[in-house]
Amino acid sequence: MKLWQKENTSVSELIEKFTVGRDKEFDLLLAEYDVQGSIAHVKMLAEVGLMTVPESEEAIIGLNSILAEIKNKNFKIDDDVEDIHSQVELLLTKNIGEAGKKIHSGRSRNDQVAVDIKLFLKAEIIKIKDEVKTLFDLLISQSEKYKDKLLPGYTHLQIAMPSSFGLWFGAYAESFIDDLEILVAAFIVADKNPLGSGAGYGSSFPLNRASTTKLLNFSTLNYNSIYAQMGRGKTEKIVSYGLSCIASTLGKLAMDCCLYLNQNFGFISFPAELTTGSSIMPHKKNPDVFELIRAKCNRVQSVPNELTLLLNNLPSGYHRDLQLTKEILFPAIEELKACLQLAVVMLKDIEIKDNILQDEKYKYLFSVEAVNELVNKGITFRQAYQQVGNQIEKGELNYDISKQLHHTHEGCIGNLMNDKIVEEMGKVLEKFGG
């Protein structure tokens, strides 16, 4: 029997299967947080007199026992139980009796799932932040290690100017700083307690929402009970923007690696065990990991749009449509974490080719250096540009690429500013709090 079901009523099996969908699958990810929310709620109920202290203490012991089952992977949602909230309450009531029937006072499954999702998203955001930091540290390390290894820079996929692997690795490291700025904004939104808003219109019980906010380690609460429910879906969408920014940077990095491994570029290579082969072409070493990272990151970037289409035509109040946010967002979180982890596995063993720029096809890569050399001799930039351009057209430019490059300004190949990039990352990480 469902928690909401009346006597002598039943629900069509077809209707139940359709409305529950994949919800139980994703509810298991929320199980730990559902119990945490219930423990905080029960403590508050004792504070305001809706449960006796002995009842509250008994319920907390029972809830902690359920929490231990969850952490030990011994917990499941029974086939005839609708969701995680029902499973926890029914199991608690079975274990401790009548006191278990009191824990839903002043609460709706609407604010239960809202608080579960926010607690879950807060925890997952921190995990993603840590994965990004691990990749960031590797990128900075590789930037320093290969700062003197030159490679061609491209614009329009045409040979442009000299670059370096130090500059390339460092670019992606700094990009993740801005991505985490968006993610920390999402964390701030998720760090607001909706518990106590009930079905969206509060309660006539004298609930103490400040108490549950403190107990659940939220920084503040969603004050307006209607907005606490309107935040459902909106929070998920904001988090998805943070994920999509990280995915965008990671997908671009993966694309670069696919190009640079291509024999027509030939800038990098990887140990054989990190690439795959062909069933008919024995020479192949395919960058399957980076191709899948690229594809998965593109899918993650589609999540904000998918959530927008799901949520856009909903008025205020709760709607069953919101159930689907879990099956859109939760798999994307797992995919992004896996992509970040595999990028670390690949990039720590990257091999960089020596003397890339000695190849004849890169001789015009130094045309800007030739122009600047003339400017340093007193020729105006436009005159120098025309002079070098004419030499290129006639095939007469013979710039000595063995000359030492003198790039000194902040953020160039001769002055990577990695120490400042690390400092800026530290500032962003501090915003996530303890």
Task: Using the CB atoms, write b or e for 11-34: b if 16+ within 10 Å.
Answer: eeeeeeeeeeeebbebbebbbbbb
The angle subtended at Cα 69 by Cα 27 and Cα 44, nearest 5°, is 75
Element (H, E) at 220: strand 220-221
Q: What is the pLDDT of residue 51?
A: 96
Poorest-pLDDT segment among 70-84, 278-292, 366-380 = 278-292
Topology, domain 110-358+410-430: Fumarase C; Chain A, domain 2 (1.20.200)
Write down the mean pLDDT value for the chain. 92
Which phi and psi (to 5°) does residue 164 adopt?
Answer: -150, 160
pLDDT in tens, 71-120: 999 999 988 888 899 999 999 999 999 999 999 999 999 999 999 999 99
- Looking at residue 4, its pLDDT comes to 46
Tokens matching residue 421: 């990039």
Question: Of 119, 121, 114, 117, which Cα lies nearest the Cα of 195?
Answer: 114
Q: Which residues pair with 412 in a beta bridge?
A: 415
Contacts of 82 by beta carbon, 8 Å cutoff, 6+ apart = 2, 3, 20
Which of the four pLDDT bands, split at 50, 70 and 90, describes residue 12?
A: low
What is the third-level CATH fold of 13-105?
Fumarase C; Chain B, domain 1 (1.10.275)
Least trusted range by pLDDT, from 49-63, 344-358, 394-408 = 394-408
Give this prediction's pTM. 0.92
On the question of pLDDT at 305 being above 90, the answer is yes
Does the structure show a pLDDT above 90 at 7?
no
Judging by beta carbons within 10 Å of its beta carbon (0-12, 13-18, 19+), is residue 78 exposed, middle or buried? exposed
pLDDT higher than 60, residue 3: no
CA-based max dimension of the chain:
96
Contacts for 250 with CB less than 8 Å, ≥ 6 apart: 135, 293, 297, 336, 339, 340, 343
Which 3 state secondary structure label does DSSP give 193? strand
Domain ranges of the chain: 13-105, 110-358+410-430, 360-393
Q: Which residues contact 428 (CB under 8 A, 6 or more apart)?
A: 177, 180, 181, 184
Q: Which of 48, 68, 46, 69 is nearest to 57 (CA)?
A: 46
Is pLDDT of 6 > 90? no
Residue type, 425: M
For the stretch 135-188, pLDDT in tens is: 999 999 999 999 999 999 999 999 999 999 999 999 999 999 999 999 999 999
Q: Which residue has the higher pLDDT, 391 or 419?
A: 419
End-to-end CA distance of the chain: 43
What's at 309, amino acid-wise? Answer: L
Of 362 and 11, the structure prediction assigns the larger pLDDT to 362
Residue 201 CA to residue 401 CA, distance in Å, equals 72
Average pLDDT over residues 117-124: 98
Percent of the chain with pLDDT over 70: 94
Is there a common fold for 13-105 and 110-358+410-430?
no
